A and B are shown apart, each in its own frame.
Chain A
Amino acid sequence: MTALTKSEMAERLFEELGLNKREAKEVVELFFEEIRASLQGNEQVKLSGFGNFDLRDKSQRPGRNPKTGEEIPISARRVVTFRPGQKLKARVEEYAGTES
Chain B
Amino acid sequence: MTKSELIELIAARQSQLSSKDVELAVKTILEQMSQSLSTGERIEIRGFGSFSLHYREPRKGRNPKTGDAVELTGKYVPHFKPGKELRERVNLGLQEGL
Q: Which residues of A contact B (CB under 8 A)?
A: 1-6, 8-9, 12-13, 16-17, 19, 23-24, 26-28, 30-32, 34-36, 38-51, 53, 55, 57, 76-82, 84, 87-89, 91-95, 97, 99-100
Contact = CB atoms under 8 A, between A and B. Distances in A.
Interface of B: 1-3, 6, 9-10, 13-14, 16-17, 21-22, 24-26, 28-30, 32-34, 36-51, 53, 55, 75-80, 82, 85-87, 89-94, 98
Given A3-B43, A17-B28, A88-B38, 14 more contacts: A3-B42, A9-B29, A17-B25, A27-B26, A28-B29, A42-B94, A49-B30, A55-B90, A79-B82, A81-B80, A82-B80, A88-B34, A93-B76, A94-B38
Contacts of A35: 1, 6, 48
